[in-house]
């Protein structure tokens, strides 16, 4: 018989702090907000921080927009990890586990995840396994076509009864995405079983793998963006802190030295 584990889903408020007020949250979670358009003029400068393999990956993107987004997100992730570890950028090297989830081979205790949608990206760091998702709430997207195969009956009824059905859909969807990214298992046939409504849920261990608990927070990133973060800890909070990042190369270099822990 499968052991039953706990999943906690909550909506929470966000406090946005500027990068010069950033403080490492060594207890459980750091989240960084990236407005991609603010870094477009730095794409050429960011190339110096990519490895040859990363450069090759960037070149494989057909769309210039996708290529720039990869370069921006990968470079900013390296700056964040350099700030956390005290290492130089050139020493931030990634490997992938069996689920193709990247990790730092020199310190497996640092977990991170990246998500992007339209003009925003989010990067999450935690000592626990972490997954993050952000979605642009596209008014033209017909979500009714996919919920029968991705949501359970209670979730479907909740979305259809909601005053704002689209927002209710994206709340559930981002929670499921963050969940599967935290576990590293990816989206599969079990996605409808992944809990996404507010409250505490008990689920069989095959959904959580090695993790006995999972906390999932939902928050509004911007007026048209819904986000969620999941991590393998039990934590209830009325608010979470999301940090902005510097938007100039000089400030990013200085950011690496802020209150390292």
Query: Which range is most confident: 15-24, 27-36, 166-175?
Result: 166-175
Least confidently predicted of 19-33, 74-88, 130-144:
19-33
128-155 mean pLDDT: 93
Q: Is the per-residue pLDDT at 1 higher than 80?
A: no
CA nearest to 123, candidates 82, 172, 66? 82
Top pLDDT among 25 and 53 is at 53
Tens of pLDDT, residue by residue over 26-37, are 556 899 999 999
Q: Is the per-residue pLDDT at 206 higher than 90?
A: no
* Domain boundaries of the chain, sorted by first residue: 4-255
- In the chain, the N- to C-terminal Cα span, in Å, equals 42
Please, what is the average pLDDT of the chain? Answer: 88
Which tokens belong to 55?
């450069």
Tens of pLDDT, residue by residue over 148-159, are 999 999 999 999
Top pLDDT among 100 and 192 is at 192
Q: What percent of the chain stands above pLDDT 70?
A: 90
Top pLDDT among 28 and 54 is at 54
Question: What confidence category does residue 47 fall into, taking pLDDT thresholds of 50, 70 and 90?
Answer: very high
Residue 4's CB: how many other CB atoms inside 10 A? 12
Q: Are 227 and 134 in contact (CB under 8 A)?
A: yes
Tens of pLDDT, residue by residue over 78-102, are 999 999 998 999 999 999 887 778 8
Fold of 4-255: Ribosomal Protein L22; Chain A (3.90.470)
Q: Is the per-residue pLDDT at 2 higher than 80?
A: no
3-state secondary structure the chain: CCCEEEEEEEECEEEEECHHHCCCCCCCCEEEEEEHHHHHHHHHHHHHHCCHHHHHHHHCCCCHHHHHHHHHHHHHHHHHHHHHHCCCHHHCCCEECCCCCEECCCCCCCEEEEEEECCEEEEEEECCCEEEEEEECCCCCCHHHCHHHHCCHHHHHHHHHCCCHHHHHHHHHHHHHHHHHHHCCCCCCCHHHCCCCCEEEEEEHHHHCCCCEEEEEEEEEECCEEEEEEECCCCCCCEEEEEECCCCHHHHHHHCCCCCC
């Amino acid at each position: 018989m499968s052991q039953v584990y706990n999943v906690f889903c909550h909506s929470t408020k966000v406090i946005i702090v500027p990068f010069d007020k950033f403080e490492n949250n060594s207890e459980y979670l750091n989240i960084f907000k990236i407005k991609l358009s603010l870094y477009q003029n730095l794409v050429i400068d960011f190339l110096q921080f990519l490895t040859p393999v990363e450069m090759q990956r960037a070149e494989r993107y057909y769309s210039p927009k996708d290529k720039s987004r990869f370069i921006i997100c990968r470079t900013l992730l390296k700056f964040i990890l350099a700030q956390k570890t005290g290492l130089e950028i050139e020493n931030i090297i990634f490997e992938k586990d069996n689920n193709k989830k990247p990790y730092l081979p020199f310190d497996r205790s640092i977990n991170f995840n990246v998500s992007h949608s339209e003009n925003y990206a989010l990067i999450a760091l935690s000592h626990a396994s972490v997954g993050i998702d952000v979605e642009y709430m596209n008014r033209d997207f017909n979500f009714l076509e996919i919920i029968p195969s991705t949501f359970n009956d209670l979730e479907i009824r909740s979305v259809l009864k909601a005053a704002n059905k689209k927002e209710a859909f994206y709340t559930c969807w981002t929670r499921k995405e963050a969940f599967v990214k935290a576990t590293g298992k990816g989206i599969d046939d079990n996605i409808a079983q992944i809990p996404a409504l507010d409250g505490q849920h008990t689920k069989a261990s095959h959904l959580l793998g090695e993790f006995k608990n999972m906390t999932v927070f939902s928050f509004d990133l911007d007026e048209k963006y819904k986000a969620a973060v999941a991590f393998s800890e039990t934590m209830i909070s009325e608010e979470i802190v999301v940090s902005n990042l510097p938007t100039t190369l000089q400030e990013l270099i200085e950011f690496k030295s802020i209150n390292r822990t």
